[in-house]
Structure 1
Amino acid sequence: MPMPTDFDADHKVSAPSGVDSSPNTSIEDQTLLLLARLMEGGQEDEDTCKELNKLTKMLDGDSSDPTRSPEPHKPINELLDTDCVETILGYLDMRQSPTVRGYATLTTSAYLKAAGDRGVKELSSFFHLTVGKGTYDDFILAFSVAASLFPVVPDVIAELFLKEGFVVSLGPLMKRKWKSKKVEQAALEMLNAACMHSACRESIKKYCMEWLDEIVNDVPPTSLDVSSPERHHVAEDGAIQQRIHSPEVRHLAAVVLAKLQAVPFAPRAGEDDKVQPAITSIEELSDMFKNMLSDKASQHSSIEGLAYASLQPKVKEKLAADGNFLKELINALGNAPAKSPETYGALTTIVNLTSYQPALTEEQKRMTQLKAYANASKSSKPNPLNDDEHVQKRCQAIFEAGAIPVLVTHSQHGSAASLMLVVLIVFSLSKNPKIRGQMAQQGAVKLLLHAYSVFPTDNVAARRTTAHALARILISTNPQHVFGGSNPLSMTSAIRPLLLLLSDDPTVEHRDLLPVFESLLALTNLASTDDTARNPIICIAFPQIEELLLSNNKLVTRATVELICNLMQAPEGVAKFADGGKQASHRMHILLALTDSEDYDTRRAAGGAMASLTEWDTAVNAILERDRGVPLLLQLCKEDEEELRHRGVVCILNVVSAPAKVGEWGVKKVKEAGGLDALKECLKKSRSQDVLEITVEALKRLLDDETSGPALLEG
């Protein structure tokens, strides 16, 4: 299908009364005068565009109650009779300037929307009558109209396109002795646009492949290579030329062939599934597009063709292995205007090269296998060139070609559609931990935060993908380097996107816990800085974090405990476990239980959180209130790993050192739970000077004897 353009991005609807606002001229008279000027023609393109824009605004404004003028008048779309419609459609002729065609497309779209079925009938009648006349000019006009309006009213144009005999006759029509290069180009533009519609694409593939192949391959190097019997007249603005296809025509034919081969053909039940074989392979077409990329005149077709050819795994590998081509593609993207087809096509090509295959659950894998068995004609094995290893190499190549700075620039001025492509590319690149730091240095975090702020809240998929890419980068970078110093980015601006990932994704049936896990890691990294990061996390997301503590997934539980460990550095975090309430008591119960987890990293993080918590006497009191509180802390002191023993003895020292009655109670509970033996065992196992000193200090507190420590050390 043709690449989208944001031609109408700045178009605003206004009431028809805003046009030619003469106090003595009715809306109907204003419209008729405007139509008369358009029908008269002969104006400069700039004036024509202004008139078309006025008519578009009038039609749009008159089509809805809120913007319709209160002045009684006949509906503006009804003032456009058949001659007026033909005039507007005439401005879609490929021989008009691209700007005029763009404005005429908007006007036609507004008319069809306002006129409804009557507009469709006018369009259909125009197309049939114009094709029926059979002259070169009429063919050019009819094909141009179809090409321009396929994206606007695809089903309407497809019905005209698929009328019996139309597509079948195109090839023979174009291969007549008397032929026009302009007619051929107009027909190819129509086929190019028609590829967006599956039924039209199938029809083209059945009946036009031979003709398209001939155009792409039948290129004599010089006029001497064309034997005299094969020289035919060509009607081209009155000139007599040899029958040699123009570069524009060849490039268009190549693009259409690429679209036909890139998208699999699935014949419908009961239809003839015989398809003309293509002489030119998709790999050969991709080579052609690569060579065209350096030519400014053919760059548009090159990029559009690459956007489709790069869907094929072999082409992906070939393109990604060519470093010079990748730099040329990135350079073309950098020079392409914002919101242009070239921008969208280049981004699409890069997305194709960098996209990983979606991760499947076991159930989804079984369903895929069952579908493959049901359709035995297709291989059930995925293409190995699409596996993670190959994709990561392609991503590395794209990164090394200098993609990130160009993507950052385009993210500031592009359309919503192109911004989504930019985010998808960054998301794929961010999967490689080795380049995340460099991505952050080159502006990827700024890009993602901007994208997250631009995407509307109802575009859940876009916002979650953006947040996931952000999480990956923030896992592997120092937050102070990304947000500190003279950097204008605020650390708190990254928190809300990350917190979005902690909630369920409403757009999918099976919850993917990888975004949750990676978001928790990124939040943990941010929470390692200071309370300006910790407090918003605690304030906004603590209920979600608390729920994730009970996750059935070991990695999610571990990451959640590690985050809580860092949040305990803030008084607000401590209060969640030690404010004396029932909820705090329940949280303390869970965190204590996790110090006895089977997972080493989870025990270590839970021990670290308890070491911070026990610095507060209210937290110590909450631990002492639980029968298993002190025994669980002493169990840490007897662990084989030094890090865990370190955390355990810090907790015990804090418990027995608590002020007033809490400390007295702590000493009693530790002694009753066998604290002396546990600490002696810790002394025997430990080699760290810190652990030894803390253990001795705890023993002193228990025995209330300053000389017992050295004796124990000697023992």
Structure 2
Amino acid sequence: MSSPGFGSSTVAEPMSRQDKTLLLFARLMEGGKEDQETAADLAELTKLLSEDHKLTKKGEKPITSVIDIDCVDTIFGLLDMRQPDAVRAQATLCTTAYLNTAGEEGHQKVTEFFHARMQRATYDDYIVAFCAATALFPIAYDLMADLIHTEGFLPSLAPLMRRKFKSKKVETACLEMLQAACLQMKCHAAIYKYCIDWMEEVIFEDPEDRVETMWEIETDLEIEEEGAGPLRRHCEKARNLAAVVWMKIMAAPVQLAEDQGTEPRIESATSKMEILSKRFAKMLSADSEEFVQCAVEGLAFATTRPNIREQVGRDKDTLQRLVKILESAPAKSALEYGTLSIFAHLTRYQPNETEEQKRLRQLKAYANAAGKLQPDPLTDDAHVAERCRLVFEAGVASALSRRGNTASAASLFQIVSILFSLSVTQSRRGQLAQQGAVRVLVNAWNTLPRKDEGPRRVAAQALARVLISVNPQLVFAHIPEQAAISPLVSLLVPDPTAETRDLLPTFEALMALTNLASGSTSGGGDEHAARRAIVRAAWDAIEELLFCSNARVCTAAVELICNLVQDPEQAVGLFGDGSAKASTRIKIILAMADAEDEPTRSAAGGALASISMFDGIARGILTQPRGAEIILGLCRDDSEGLRHRGAVVVDNLISHEGDVGKLAKEKLLAAGGVLALSECAKKSRTPEVIQAAVHVLRALLEGQNTSEAS
């Protein structure tokens, strides 16, 4: 007989999410585990926390209800700088997931954790608290800023750092926390007030004084564990971190003055900034990646000051080292972004100002007794142009091209800014194109988020500048010309984010489009492909710019039309379909041919020379009230080029067969064509102009004689 339990099975109930959470925390608290196991447990906990928000919306009990202060202390303890990088990275992700899920309750636990650790006041507690703060600042800046401003916290750091026997790890962890606190301006003034003095002691410590003082140490004193050191001995890492934090704080004097209510010691700090910048420059060649990262970050903030920009920009060795660092920096890394920031600061021109903006700035400067609003002479165009030259000669353009495809959005904008500044000098644009700038700028315009209208317009304007001065046939060997059209067309309409319209980008875009419409091909054999693409994408905007109050923009629009109508299909489609719009366009081009501005008349004359070859358009020209008179005005012009255009137009008009040719002779004779073309032939020295004028003159005289005979 079988027993009652034979063949039966016990099915275990599935573990709840709360139980899984508690089990994971129990395993994390055990200690003595392999790093991979700890990282795996943290990853599983992060997954549970990430799912918790969605599940609680469906009515399930949140797992945060079982996470008490000891659990939070466990996670934050794994952010300790003494933990392996893999564990710290996973603990950071877990912390982020917890704060996103726990909300206000999580913020309260964070506050409780820091108060408890700081009250214990052991070196170990300081290290854990400072390391956790460093990780939390990018995640919950406002919360951490409030804790930093807790009464007594920042003032307590100076005595801690000035202890006769100190922990190097506490010192390093504290400085890393302050470095993270400087991510935004909210903490700058407080750190300046309470920490700047002891940071300067760390940075500018005199090694000779240190050695002399060491002989006076009481040798029977007990020394703290984990690397405690006597007196003022600061490790190199701490000195470097302090230098970076100090530079971040002192690089923003105006904000400091406003927040503090007192004038910071900027005058005395200037020489220290120069000393530190030279130290950072030397550190760029260090073997330690950590030292190089500190040097790049320090210079990135230092070069926000004009005198440091000039110092670094004229140091060829430093520029070449920065280029090498940029070439070897990991993609999307802080090192890449920091190096790009330095180059962006060195090459940045002052923004263009309208006359009204200049007057307002001058009034503000006069109203300010110290004159602080006056522009620094080191930021004028001449100094920036020279720094751009030195940066370009250091080889930055090719390095930027190589980074363009893999850079983050933030780094890509820095690349765009640098290329924008380098493209100001016209003689450099061909070299920029050869080194891949066009491809990078087209990619940037397409890659940068559409909400970032400003950066995208900067990329488009830099692209326009390069394309104005180069042969498109050489540039577009590997990418289609049409890829550049959309960025350029985006500049033809006003910037929606700007209070006043800057017409320079529009003018440069028109010039670049004119170059693209010059008839070059990118290897496909269709010389009109770019013209058709431009008309499809931009004709309405181009037409509107014909009425622009700025004469140069208006002229550039006419010049673009002149190149676009070299395509017969576009010429007939725009001017010869017999519609009211086509008639209006003919009237506008004729008006442009009668403008006061010679370049505008020249461009309009070129367009008329192309479109007058077609019967329908020729009829439209002749039926305009002053059509024949305006064209003959070109023939009388003092400019040889304009007389040539006028002669070609009248030659085209009388060459049409049937009614159009007859109408042309009648209109030209009635408008004084014989006298005008006689003057044209006498004034001209170019054989083509003389031949065209004589040919038309003969035709008109024959027509006149025939008319008189009949």
Q: State TM-score, norm by structure 1.
A: 0.91
| Counterpart residue identity of residue 576, structure 1 | L
Question: Is the Cα contact below 8 Å between 2:56 and 2:62 reproduced in 1?
Answer: no
Counterpart in the other structure of 1:501: 491
Q: Distance in 2 between matches of 1:338 and 1:610?
A: 53
| Structure 1 contact 330–402 (Cα < 8 Å) conserved | yes
CA distance 1:402–1:240, shift in 2 (3 Å): closer
Alpha-carbon distance, 1:607 to partner: 0.4
Contact 1:206-1:275 within 8 A present in 2 as well: no
Matches of 2:436 and 2:309 in 1, distance apart? 26
Partner of 1:288: 279
Amino acid at match of 1:511: R
Code of the residue aligned with 2:412 in structure 1: it is: L
Pairwise CA distance, 1:371: 2.7
Residue identity matched to 1:319: V
229-238 vs 551-560, which deviates more? 229-238
Amino acid at match of 1:506: P
Q: Distance in 2 between matches of 1:475 and 1:628?
A: 35
Matches within 5 A, 1:73-84: 73-84=60-71
1:603 aligns with 601
Work out the CA distance in 2 between the residues paired with 1:58 and 1:490.
49
Cα deviations by residue, 1:56-80 (Å, 9 ceiling, x for unpaired): 333233324xxx4898632133332
Q: Find the aligned partners of 2:358 and 2:43 in 1 and give their Cα distance.
A: 52
Asked if 1:459 corresponds to 2:446, the answer is no
Cα pair 1:437 1:473 within 8 Å, conserved:
yes
Aligned: 1:528 with 2:521: no
The one of 640, 643, 646 aligned to 2:644: 646
Q: Counterpart of 2:405 in 1: which secondary structure?
A: helix
- Hey, what does 1:244 align to over in structure 2? 233
Contact 1:657 1:701 in 2 (8 A): no
Aligned to 1:63, the other structure's residue is in SS state helix
Name the Cα RMSD after superposition.
2.3
> Contact (CA 8 Å) 1:181, 1:235: kept in 2 or not?
no
Specify the alignment match of 2:18 in structure 1.
28
2:192 aligned to 182, 202, 205, which one?
A: 205
Counterparts of 1:174 and 1:421, CA distance in 2? 37
Q: Cα deviation per residue 1:75-108 (whole Å; 9 max; x = unaligned)?
A: 1333322111111111211222334323322221
Residue 275 of structure 1: CA displacement?
A: 4.6
Give the secondary structure class of the aligned counterpart of 2:164: coil
Quote the residue 2:304 is aligned against.
Answer: 311
| Alpha-carbon distance in 2 for matches of 1:493, 1:79 | 56
Within 5 Å, give how 1:432-447 maps onto structure 2: 432-447=425-440
Deviation at 1:172, TM superposition (A): 1.8
Conservation of the 8 A alpha-carbon contact between 2:665 and 2:700: yes
> Do the aligned partners of residues 152 and 494 (structure 1) sit closer, same or farther apart at CA in structure 2, a change above 3 Å counting?
same
Q: 1:397 to 1:654 in 2, by over 3 A?
A: same
Q: Could you report, residue by residue, the CA deviation over 1:164-197 in whole angstroms, capped at 9, with x for unpaired residues?
A: 1211221122101121111111111111122234
Measure how far apart 1:669 and its partner are: 0.4
1:204-229 CA-to-partner distances (Å, cap 9, x unmatched) read: 21222221111112142698544412
Pairing of 1:279-358 with structure 2 (within 5 A): 281-297=272-288, 298-358=291-351
Q: Check the 8 A contact 1:209/1:276 in 2, yes or no.
A: no
2:374 maps to what in 1? Answer: 381
Aligned to 1:665: 663
Alignment of 1:68-107 (within 5 A): 68=55, 73-107=60-94
Q: Distance in 2 between matches of 1:272 and 1:528?
A: 61
Aligned length: 681
Contact 2:445 2:487 in 1 (8 A): yes
Give the corresponding residue for 1:678.
Answer: 676
SS of alignment partner, residue 179 of structure 1: strand
Q: Is the 8 A contact 2:196 2:246 kept in 1?
A: yes
Query: Counterparts in 2 of 1:616-631, with a 5 A limit?
Result: 616-631=614-629
Relative distance call for 1:660 and 1:463 in structure 2 (3 A) is: same
CA apart distance, 1:573: 2.5
**Cα distance in 1 between the residues matched to 2:473 and 2:34:** 57
Percent sequence identity is 46
* Structure with bigger RCO (C-alpha 8 Å, 6+ apart): 1
2:248 aligns with one of 259, 263, 275: 259
> Are 1:219 and 1:244, in contact at CA under 8 Å, matched by a contact in 2?
no
* 1:25 positional shift: 3.7
Are 2:540 and 1:551 aligned? no
Distance 1:676 1:274 in 2: 81
The 1-side partners of 2:307 and 2:675 are apart by 67
Q: 1:261 to 1:71 in 2, by over 3 A?
A: closer
Is the Cα contact below 8 Å between 1:538 and 1:572 reproduced in 2? no
Residues 412-421 or 525-534, more deviating: 412-421
Amino acid at match of 1:348: S
Aligned position for 1:134: 121
Q: Show the 5 A alignment for 1:164-203.
A: 164-203=151-190
CA spacing shift, 1:445–1:43, aligned 2, 3 Å: farther
2:596 aligned counterpart, secondary structure: coil
Q: CA separation in 2, counterparts of 1:192 and 1:302?
A: 14
Alpha-carbon displacement from aligned partner over 1:562-600 (angstroms, at most 9, x marks no partner): 000000111332121221111111111111011111111
Structure 1 residue 422: Cα displacement: 1.2
- Equivalent of 2:562, from 541, 561, 565? 565
CA distance in 1, matches of 2:257, 2:313: 35
Counterpart of 1:17 in structure 2 is none
Judge conservation of contact 2:344–2:414 (CA < 8 Å) in 1.
yes
One-letter amino acid of the counterpart of residue 534, structure 1: R
1:56 corresponds to which residue?
A: 46
Shifted more, 184-193 versus 199-208: the winner is: 199-208
Change (3 A) 1:602 1:684: same
Residue 380 of structure 1 and its aligned partner are, at CA, apart by: 3.6
Which amino acid counterpart does residue 262 of structure 2 have in structure 1? D
Name 1:38's counterpart in structure 2: 28
Q: Do the aligned partners of 2:214 and 2:231 also contact (CA within 8 Å) in 1?
A: no
More displaced 10-residue stretch of structure 1: 681-690 or 186-195? 186-195
Partner Cα separation in structure 1 for residue 86 and residue 259 of structure 2: 44
Q: CA deviation at 1:452?
A: 1.7
Deviations 1:392-442 (A, max 9, x none): 111111111111222122222221111111111111111111111111111
Separation (CA, whole Å) in 2 of partners of 1:202 and 1:565 = 59
1:267 Cα deviation (Å)? Answer: 5.5
**Using the alignment, how far apart are the partners of 1:362 and 1:275 within structure 2?**
33
Q: Secondary structure in 2 aligned to 1:580?
A: coil
- Look up the match of 2:583: 585
Q: Deviation digits for residues 305-332 of structure 1, max 9, x if unmatched?
A: 0000011111111111111110101101
CA distance in 1, matches of 2:263, 2:430: 53
Q: 2:303, 2:342 within 8 Å by CA — same for their partners in 1?
A: yes
| 8 A Cα contact 2:485 2:534, kept in partner | yes
Pair 346,396 (structure 1): closer, same or farther in 2 beyond 3 Å: same
* 1:362 alignment partner in structure 2: 355
Deviation at 1:265, TM superposition (A): 4.2
Q: 1:51 to 1:618 in 2, by over 3 A?
A: farther
Superimposed CA distance per residue, residues 496-547 of structure 1 (whole angstroms, 9 cap, x where no aligned partner): 1111111111111111111100000000000002211000111121111000
Offset, 1:682: 0.3
Rounded Cα–Cα distance in structure 1 between residues aligned with 2:258 and 2:647: 74
Mean CA deviation greater in 631-640 or 363-372: 363-372
Provide the residue aligned with 2:4 in structure 1: none
Residue in 2 that maps onto 1:514: 504
When residues 602 and 678 of structure 1 are mapped into structure 2, their CA distance, relative to the original with a 3 A threshold, is: same
Residue 250 of structure 1, CA deviation: 0.7
Letter in 1 for 2:238: V
8 Å contact from structure 1 (residues 231, 242) kept in 2: no
Q: Kindly tell me: are residues 238 and 425 of structure 1, through their superposed partners in 2, closer, same or farther at Cα, counting changes over 3 Å?
A: closer
1:373 CA displacement: 3.4
Q: Which of 636, 653, 656 matches 2:654?
A: 656
